[in-house]
Amino acid sequence: MSISAVPFVDALRCRECGHRFPVEALHVCDRCFGPLEVSYDYEAVRANVSRASIAAGPQTIWRYAALLPANAAGAVSLGAGCTPLVRADRLAAELGLGELWVKNDTVNPTGSFKDRVVSVALSKARELGFKVAACPSTGNLANSVAAHAASAGMRSVVFIPADLEPAKIAATAVYGGTLVAVDGTYDDVNRLCAELTDDHPDWAFVNVNVRTYYAEGSKTLAFETAEQLGWVAPDHVVAPVASGSQLTKIAKGFRELYEVGLLDEAPAVRVSGAQAAGCSPVATAFAAGADAIRPVRPDTIAKSLAIGNPADGWYALDEVRRSGGAVESVTDDEIRDGITLLARTEGIFAETAGGVTIATLAKLAAAGVVRRDERVVAYVTGNGLKTLDAIADRVAPTATIEPTRAAFAAAFPAEL
Amino acid sequence: MAVTVRIPTQLRQLAAGAGELAIDGSTVGEVLKGLDAAHPGFGERLFDEAGQLRRFVNVFLAEEDVRFLEGLDTPVTDGQTLSIVPAVAGG
């Protein structure tokens, strides 16, 4: 496979043992099975990138190409990124918080933050010569891979648990790729795909054999947040935890901005994680003070977070502990409350994962972990139209009436 | 009793490129130790200093994560398949 150089990437490096590897389709260290990470020449980035050069870039994640592992020219992009960072004063008032912001990543091209990671993964996959895009997915990733592959003229082969929400199935199948529904949990699907990479080394499984590159896309959640706040890092962020990759990369993103001179002060961001009680292996380990994360069998309405054996769970736990954050979990009813609370206070309709984030934020605020004197950012990463069933028993017309003034007056005798 | 051990791409150079090997043993731990005896190098890849499976190694017996069973003490029966799968995937 031909490899086109990316200016500022110097190698892949094992996060566990430090062994270095060439910039190829590798994701696991063959010595210790640890995850590989992209290593950048930060001095070169620092010399070539400024706040002004970023501001002159596109209104997508590719404005931060110097800290991404693929070339911006020729990137596979539907325009992900540069989503609103919304000042959430009404939600803050309900939760007793001060300066609260919501990163509204529900408005990405396919309705979730996955467009960021998929854009990076498939751009790199195409540079590496792959013609087929594949993934195991809890739904949002399926939507995004199928859509990006369609726009790039790549074949797609997407694997999902058969019991996914109907909207997520339709919003994948519509793009015309191959969609395989598997009788099993996401963890079963994930294991199957990890084995299929051995059988199909010419397929780019975005979150398996090109995961090293894919995961880097989540750093743009931190890059944008800092830029939108005027090139400062927040004091505390709350992010959902499924595999743990997104939270880990948000933390890395803030550190990198300082490393390359885009932040004046070293960031001291407290990082907190949000899980559903029905799938909370990382929250359980945090509460127990344990280092090992015991896999669980998920049972929650938050299917997009239903990963019982999180690949980056340990790293997420480490980021949370070192930064003085917390990992908390919330019940399915609290998740529904979180969705409706965010919608009625801020006009943002999130899917169940967003409900997990907001409900966890509420819980951490009530416990005094997230504080009133902190500048807080909550990451809301998927669109509510994808999980309508979750709130179907809570939302309905206020009244159903005949089309007459009398009927309206009868139904609403007082002011609304 | 022989079980079929599926070898991931990352470790196949230790087994002369084989994707599957037949190994004897009565538990998951015995089979994996037998694998190391037959093809030295597997042990240090799979086990940490304490003799436990490394954090980023998943082992599945008949499609079930052995951590949900009895771990390395899980009994195996003739003809079963044991898969070694890198944990770093998904999400």
Domain boundaries, chain B: 2-86
Q: Do B89 and A194 touch (CB under 8 A)?
A: yes
Angle between helices A245-259 and A313-323 (to 10 degrees): 50
Domain-embedded: residue A269: yes
| Nearest CB neighbour to A32, from listed B54, B90, B91 | B54
Q: Do B54 and A245 touch (CB under 8 A)?
A: no
| Selected residues 8-47 of chain A with any CB under 8 Å from a CB in chain B | 16, 27-35
Q: Do A34 and B88 touch (CB under 8 A)?
A: yes
Q: For position A6, what pLDDT does the model report?
A: 63
Domain-embedded: residue A176: no
Contacts of A246 in chain B (CB under 8 A): 91
Right CATH number for B2-86 from 3.40.50.150, 3.10.20.30, 3.90.920.10, 3.40.720.10? 3.10.20.30
Q: Which helix (H) or strand (E) holds A201?
A: none
Best residue in A15, A21, A28 for a mutation probing chain B (most B CBs within 10 Å)? A28
pTM over 0.80: yes
With CA atoms as reference, report the closest residue to A359 among A393, A390, A386: A390
Phi/psi-derived region of residue A273, left when phi > 0, alpha when psi is between -120 and 50, beta in every other case? beta
B56 and chain A: CB distance < 8 Å anywhere?
yes
Q: For position A82, what pLDDT does the model report?
A: 98
The dihedrals phi and psi of B79, each to the nearest 5 degrees, come to 90, -5
The dihedrals phi and psi of A57, each to the nearest 5 degrees, come to -80, 180
Cα-only R_g, chain B: 12
With CA atoms as reference, report the closest residue to A121 among A36, A213, A24: A213
Other Cβ atoms closer than 10 A to A85: 19
Is residue A19 within 8 Å of residue A37, measured between CB atoms? no
A194 and chain B: CB distance < 8 Å anywhere?
yes
With CA atoms as reference, report the closest residue to A235 among A373, A337, A399: A373
Q: If you measure CA to CA, which chain A residue comes closest to B84?
A: A195
Is residue B60 within 8 Å of residue B71, measured between CB atoms? no
| Nearest CB neighbour to B90, from listed A28, A190, A198 | A190
Distance of residue A50 Cα from the nearest chain B Cα, in angstroms: 32
What's at A370, amino acid-wise? V
With CA atoms as reference, report the closest residue to A282 among A309, A249, A248, A250: A309
State how far the Cα of A123 lies from the Cα of A116, in Å rounded to an integer: 11
Is residue B76 within 8 Å of residue B28, measured between CB atoms? yes
Q: Do A30 and B58 touch (CB under 8 A)?
A: no
From residue A38, alpha-carbon distances to A11, A193, A252 in Å are: 6, 22, 12
Tens of pLDDT along chain A (416 residues) come to: 333 446 799 999 999 999 999 999 999 999 889 999 999 999 999 999 999 999 999 999 999 999 999 999 999 999 999 999 999 999 999 999 999 999 999 999 999 999 999 999 999 999 999 999 999 999 999 999 999 999 999 999 999 999 999 999 999 999 999 999 999 999 999 999 999 999 999 999 999 999 999 999 999 999 999 999 999 999 999 999 999 999 999 999 999 999 999 999 999 999 999 999 999 999 999 999 998 899 999 999 999 999 999 999 999 999 999 999 999 999 999 999 999 999 999 999 999 999 999 999 999 999 999 999 999 999 999 999 999 999 999 999 999 999 999 999 999 988 76
Question: Helix, strand or coil for residue A378?
Answer: strand
**Residue recorded with tokens 């999980």:** A387
Q: If you measure CA to CA, which chain B residue comes closest to A192?
A: B63
Q: Do A32 and B45 touch (CB under 8 A)?
A: yes
B8 and chain A: CB distance < 8 Å anywhere?
yes
Q: For position A416, what pLDDT does the model report?
A: 67
Q: Do A309 and B86 touch (CB under 8 A)?
A: no
Torsion, CA B53, CA A161, CA A113, CA A271, rounded to 10: -40
Q: If you measure CA to CA, which chain A residue comes closest to B49?
A: A32
Q: Do B9 and A198 touch (CB under 8 A)?
A: yes
| Nearest CB neighbour to B45, from listed A31, A136, A307 | A31
Q: Do A33 and B57 touch (CB under 8 A)?
A: yes
| Nearest CB neighbour to B89, from listed A30, A34, A193 | A193
Angle between helices A140-152 and A114-127 (to 10 degrees): 40
With CA atoms as reference, report the closest residue to A372 among A360, A380, A364: A364
B18 and chain A: CB distance < 8 Å anywhere?
no
State how far the Cα of B65 lies from the Cα of A192, in Å rounded to an integer: 12
Q: For position A7, what pLDDT does the model report?
A: 73
Contacts of B52 in chain A (CB under 8 A): none
Distance of residue A47 Cα from the nearest chain B Cα, in angstroms: 33
Residue A288 CB contacts under 8 Å (≥ 6 apart), including other chains: none
Burial class (CB in 10 A: 0-12, 13-18, 19+), A260: buried
Domain-embedded: residue A43: no
HEC states along chain B?
CEEEEECCHHHHHHHCCCCEEEEECCEHHHHHHHHHHHCCCHHHHHECCCCCECCCEEEEECCEEHHHCCHHHCECCCCCEEEEEECCCCC
For A146, the token pair is 């199928």
CATH of the domain at A93: 3.40.50.1100
| Nearest CB neighbour to B89, from listed A246, A297, A311 | A311
Burial class (CB in 10 A: 0-12, 13-18, 19+), A81: buried
The dihedrals phi and psi of B75, each to the nearest 5 degrees, come to -70, 145
Contacts of A198 in chain B (CB under 8 A): 8-9, 19
Q: Please tell me the total count of domains within chain A.
A: 1
Show the domain range for A286. 85-111+215-391
Domain-embedded: residue A223: yes
Query: Alpha helices, DSSP H only, in A260-385?
Result: 281-288, 313-323, 332-346, 352-366
Contacts of B19 in chain A (CB under 8 A): 198
Domain-embedded: residue A323: yes
Q: For position A1, what pLDDT does the model report?
A: 35
